[in-house]
Structure 1
């Protein structure tokens, strides 16, 4: 790597360079998208959430991250959502991508984010930096006529819009907390209002749920549907299915555990679309204390962590779980302990069974008798996101 490559905070005057590199990575943007892109990135710059690599006076790579919260075990955990990782073609394969990502990870830790997540263009670089698969973004296709027949006409439902953004967030929070959800994002209320105000967002609100859907490539597509009762589940899906005379199919971004799979007589189309996303534990004790755990789980076990990128995670820790909460504290004991690298810890955090983590060579040591209790503590619903960022 050339000696004059250096990590910098991206400034407004660098955005033309970033856009040039981005165009070589993802293609050209139209003028409207470009204006929105510039506006969005100014916010990242102002909050010091956009890093770049300079070669002399030219910016040749950049990355940024969103200030999200993410549900884990029914509790919200701050999460840096990495996006827009771009490297000029002539600098690829020279460690520049790793350099800008290390800068982004360090900044996220500095700003107090226990977790980071991203959708990978390639897994190799991100696994090298300690990321591992955390969950998926699942899209299923259902027959619209089946949805239309689900009923729920006794439920009062009204059209909704930007003014209802706070209520949407409130309902999602209540239901993700009670359902001990893993993975869904929490967006700022202003962004939710923006989404609800889009021309192609058809929004409906019930007392204990809501749906947002629209048209995509000639099909109806559900972006989010959340409900606290069977009657509301039926009512909201029926509204979507009422378009069955125009669209024979409805695509839906939902969890693999969503009750729709159990209510609809015919199974979803077998060709489900899954986009995997990756997770990274940045601050191990903060991530554990913020996460929810299985309410009945009780666990006392030592961990030996080895994080080659974030040394503050490395060392001997004691993991304690009870009453749905967990803690990770440093200890000096020297006995056998479950050993995990950053990828192994992340996989475990995301609910991957310990047997699978061991078979992948990402965990070893410790007492086999503890594995069941560890799995129980981290168990829960399938981790999923509805959003691509």
Structure 2
């Protein structure tokens, strides 16, 4: 069956949102009926005549890898109408969206999958998980505010410093969104209004941490205080924020941390083992442009090396080939040397395996175990050293 694949038109907004409702239960129309205007977002649809058979959205993000920002296509709202499922509609939709995303400079793509297998066949791989968790607020009973640290409610004037605390934290990890750029128009007032409160921890007037939280309507032993970000630049900042959250102990029984991922640093300060992961949501990534992705991210400045590798098996973006990577002073020069020959003597990644290596989420040995890397093993430790060192952390759902 032939489909028309194109960007959505404003007059198709209602159909676009209704199709999203079928898959996700979202409202059938947006809050501003008839509008598809969303900063940094481009929507692509598949039409079968006058029928909208599928849709997806690309969001213009920057993500942190190796301490540098990398342009990323964040995929969301992937929907195929029930009557068109199983007809190979996703591939042409992704092909068009990748073309658009690469045109604006995106070298990576990432998404939260409804089914990992579907997206794995397109070259995506799971690099980490978002792990919302909760803990009894009684776990904070033994934590007190450190001397010299003050907690207070944030104001609009504090927002630039809050954003800086987030940036410092995010740059030390692999994967977090920058929360800046086209998809995050600066709106300090709206950030403050988005939560019941943003509580900051400061020393001598300098903000060293913050937590954003919503009170909700529940109370009593099963009542919950909903926390979104809980981030600090030092131990005392975390302790002060945890102590502040603990002041709700007479009102609610639980604290839910929505933006948790992997082994959260907060666990290093917990006096108990009562952290309960409520869900584990896979997060997948794909490399759209090998040269661009490898040259944009950062690397350990102490490593200077040159190595060659191949990529084989990409179904859409044409990243297959033989590459040379030269590293010095924390930066890379990557060159595509040509196609892979039948008798290649370099290690070869699948697109999925390259995503795992790039994110630093698996060792070369692990990637080989699942079929993502084959060929000579001489550079396995080097791959681990240049891509590793920063844990994968996911904060924002889209």
Retained in 2: the 8 A contact 1:23–1:29? yes
Give the structure 2 partner of residue 326 of structure 1: 332
Give the structure 1 partner of residue 291 of structure 2: 285
Give yes or no for the alignment of 1:299 onto 2:305: yes
Match of 2:14 among 13, 16, 25: 16
How many angstroms apart in 2 are the aligned matches of 1:80 and 1:123? 18
Match of 1:190 among 186, 189, 204: 186
Retained in 1: the 8 A contact 2:136–2:254? yes
Q: Matches of residues 169-208 of structure 1 in structure 2 within 5 Å?
A: 169-177=163-171, 180-187=172-179, 188-190=184-186, 193-204=189-200, 206=202, 207-208=207-208
Match of 2:370 among 336, 360, 364: 360
Gaps of 5+ in 1: none
- How has the CA–CA distance of structure 1 residues 38 and 67 changed in structure 2, closer, same or farther, with 3 Å as cutoff? farther
Give yes or no for the alignment of 1:342 onto 2:322: no
Q: Matches of residues 1-389 of structure 1 in structure 2 within 5 Å?
A: 1=1, 3=2, 5-27=3-25, 29=27, 34-35=30-31, 39=35, 41-43=36-38, 49-153=42-146, 154-177=148-171, 180-187=172-179, 188-190=184-186, 193-204=189-200, 206=202, 207-215=207-215, 218-252=223-257, 253-306=259-312, 307-311=314-318, 313-331=319-337, 336-351=345-360, 352-366=362-376, 368-389=377-398
For residues 129-172 of structure 1, what are the alpha-carbon distances to aligned partners after superposition, in whole Å with 9 as ceiling and x for unaligned?
Answer: 11111211122323323324322343123211455433222222
**Deviation of 1:104 (Å):** 1.1
- How has the CA–CA distance of structure 1 residues 113 and 138 changed in structure 2, closer, same or farther, with 3 Å as cutoff? same
| RMSD (Å) for aligned C-alpha atoms | 2.4
Return the structure number with greater helix share. Answer: 1
Please, which moves more after superposition, 378-387 or 127-136? 378-387
- How has the CA–CA distance of structure 1 residues 183 and 11 changed in structure 2, closer, same or farther, with 3 Å as cutoff? same
Retained in 1: the 8 A contact 2:145–2:243? yes
Retained in 2: the 8 A contact 1:70–1:185? yes
Q: Secondary structure of the residue that 1:331 maps to in structure 2?
A: strand
Retained in 1: the 8 A contact 2:154–2:197? no
Give the structure-1-normalised TM-score. Answer: 0.89
**Deviation of 1:15 (Å):** 1.0
**Deviation of 1:243 (Å):** 0.8
- Give aligned pairs, total: 378
Give the structure-2-normalised TM-score. Answer: 0.87
For residues 47-95 of structure 1, what are the alpha-carbon distances to aligned partners after superposition, in whole Å with 9 as ceiling and x for unaligned?
Answer: 6711111111232211111111111122211111111111111111111
